Amino acid sequence: MAGARIRPGISRVDDQGLRLRALDDRALDVCFDGRRVWTFWTLRDTEGTGPLRRVAWPRPLVKHLDGRSVVAVRDSASGATYFEQELALGSGAGRVEVVSPKGVELGFDKSGKLVPTFAGRSERDLGSLLDATEAVVAALRECGLEPFLAYGTLLGAVREGRVLGHDSDADLGYVSRHDTPVQVARESFRVQRELAERGFATYRYSGGAFRVDVQEGGVTRGLDVFGGFLDRGRLYLMGEVGTPFLEEWLWPLTTAQLSGRTLPVPAQPEHLLEAMYGAGWKVPDPAFKFTTPARTTRALEGWFRGTQPGIRYWERRASASTRGSFREPSVLARRAARLAGELGAEVLDVGAGRGADSVWLARQGVPVTAYDYVPRGLRDAVDVAAAEELPLDVRPLNLTEWRSVLAEGAHLAHDPRPRVVLARHVLDATSAFGRESLARLCSMALREGGRLLADLHVVDDAAGGDRPGDPGEDAPDWMVGRPDAEAVATLLRRYGATRVVTKRLPNRDRTTVRMVGEWSAWT
Amino acid sequence: MDLRTLRPSSSSTVRRLEERVADLEADLAEMRQHQLRLAELADVVQELLVPVAQQDREAVDAAVERFRKSL
């Protein structure tokens, strides 16, 4: 009962974080000079015994906490203020400013990332995002879908009539008129293709969801488009939903106001909001964490996902700029350069990362195509290649998407020439499907003959984790599964390698295997 | 075997049932994964087969490029 709850007390706020007394779990907003930056739950997100709790500042916030600021701690739901005081943090010089290098105000979103938030944006910026939302809604309708606002955007519209300040993106959903995952995925592919033809930049997350990138006031914001379907009284919606649902709760769609715009929502949106956020959806909670039932996660994973192994790790790596300075080339890249010279070949650098090897090879005069499934990481390489007029091409390739591999393979097979495929720690960073795809890509790209040069870590059974395929605690964060070098060699032969040489490299922290696969020219 | 009629009277029965559930979940995941792969293959065939069947080289090139750029 809300009336019986005891107010939390904030006893101290300093460079380390907050100390508080709390008997029940509730969401608190932390504001700097009046602006909400972070929200935490008094029990869930804190440490301590009994009511005496402490919570450290989230790591991405720490570097911003240098200067003076009026720090306020407020109840997310009621707005009641439990603490408000001017404090000196860090050196205490100047004011605390939680902003990006471009000066855009930042806050923590629901996924715990420090991002530009709507709360910090001008009316004009917000207007341009709403314009983009309307444009994507219109385009999805032209593609034959019935889109509606979803997740945080739906919550903002229905509960408050406006974009939630702590949200960082806009979400759209649609429920397909098809009722099997295979049809839903095909429809999603078709719609993404039609959006691309209309000039929208898109990025696919899974067989059922993709993002449309729109420019908003100098910041690229993603509008996520989540597909769903109804199957015998059960609604599945990409992201988090799998629940019993009635058609009349969805259709015919109606409208709601979102910061002054009229936008589509389900017929009875409260049912979808309850499916997304639980029965407490009416109470604000900027630190909400989804607790999706395991059954729903298993179903959505099985039907639509598995095409982005390790994506969070690689996205994080990709967002760090190289500032145009690249690491030394790998041993494998040097070997690729020699081979390319001997064979008069070009190099395909698969899993190029930030492009250090690709740029080095191109600087040696070797024509290179750098592939990665997070092509954002290659933006510095693109800039350097343009400035130095290097023979370097950058293309997206996702080994865990059949469409991506077959399309790129067809493109390469269409232009047969000697090639060297460089795959440094790719076979050990992708799924079994991805490993087979690399072999398939080689078979399509190397029809004029060529080599695959690959390094991979292998984990002995004793060092692996308990579950089958678990690489174990000592394995690098990005490692997927426990690839077996002999099995990979067999796979390469199955895809046409006439010779495979496998060598264990000595004197390394981890066991690394170097594989050279040779393909002969088709006669 | 009707699982509802089983009485988990011993730890070995419980273990057998746990293993069986794990196997069933793995089997289900395996079958579910075919949905996405079938959708992908159907999409490739639909987009690329028609120009190939027409034996129109330019149309094939254009179809491959258009398909690649739409991913």
Task: Kindly write down the DSSP assignment for every residue of A125-181, as one continuous string.
Answer: HHHHHHHHHHHHHHHHHHTT---EE-HHHHHIIIIISS--TT--SEEEEEEES--SH
Q: Give the gap in angstroms from C-alpha B57 to the nearest C-alpha of chain A.
A: 10
Q: Give the gap in angstroms from C-alpha A181 to the nearest C-alpha of chain B.
A: 6
pLDDT at res. A2: 41
Does residue A104 lie within any of the structural domains?
no
pLDDT at res. A295: 94
Closest-approach residue (CA) in chain A for B44: A403
Residues A71, A132, single domain; the answer is no
pLDDT at res. A285: 85
Task: Single out the residue of A57, A54, A59, A53 nearest to residue A69, CA to CA.
Answer: A57
Residues A51, A200, single domain; the answer is no
Nearest to B70 among A193, A207, A306 (CB): A193
Which tokens in the block code for residue A51?
Answer: 């009511």
Does residue A116 lie within any of the structural domains?
no
* Per-residue CA distances from A462 to A191, A399, A470 (Å): 47, 29, 11
Task: Single out the residue of A414, A487, A403 nearest to residue A444, CA to CA.
Answer: A414
Closest-approach residue (CA) in chain B for A294: B25
Does residue A3 lie within any of the structural domains?
no
Closest-approach residue (CA) in chain B for A184: B39
Which residues of B are less than 8 Å from A204 in CB distance? 71
Residues A378, A440, single domain; the answer is yes
In the DSSP assignment, the letter for residue A309 is: T
pLDDT per residue as tens digits for the range B40-68: 999 998 887 777 777 778 888 888 888 88
Domain end, chosen from A306, A336, A358, is at A306
The A52-56 sheet, strands edge to edge: A9-13, A17-21, A52-56, A47-49
What's the domain count of chain A?
A: 3
* Chain A positions touching chain B (beta carbons under 8 Å): 180-183, 185-186, 189-190, 192-193, 196-197, 204, 207, 298-299, 301-304, 306-307, 396, 398, 401-404, 406-408, 410-411, 414
Q: Are A349 and A368 in contact (CB under 8 A)?
A: yes
Look at residue B22 and tell me whether its pLDDT is greater than 50.
yes
Which tokens in the block code for residue A273?
Answer: 């909001």
What average pLDDT does the segment B25-41 reach?
93
Pseudo-torsion of CA B23, B24, B27, B31, nearest 10°? -170
Residues A134, A86, single domain; the answer is no
What range defines the domain where residue A404 resides?
Answer: 319-519
Nearest to A411 among B42, B64, B70 (CB): B64
Phi-psi region for residue A472, left (φ > 0), alpha (ψ -120 to 50) or beta?
A: left
Closest-approach residue (CA) in chain A for B48: A407
Q: Do B33 and A401 touch (CB under 8 A)?
A: no
Domain end, chosen from A285, A306, A327, is at A306
Q: Give the gap in angstroms from C-alpha A294 to the nearest C-alpha of chain B.
A: 12
Q: Which stretches of chain A drop beneath a pLDDT of 50?
A: 1-3
pLDDT per residue as tens digits for the range A213-224: 887 666 677 899
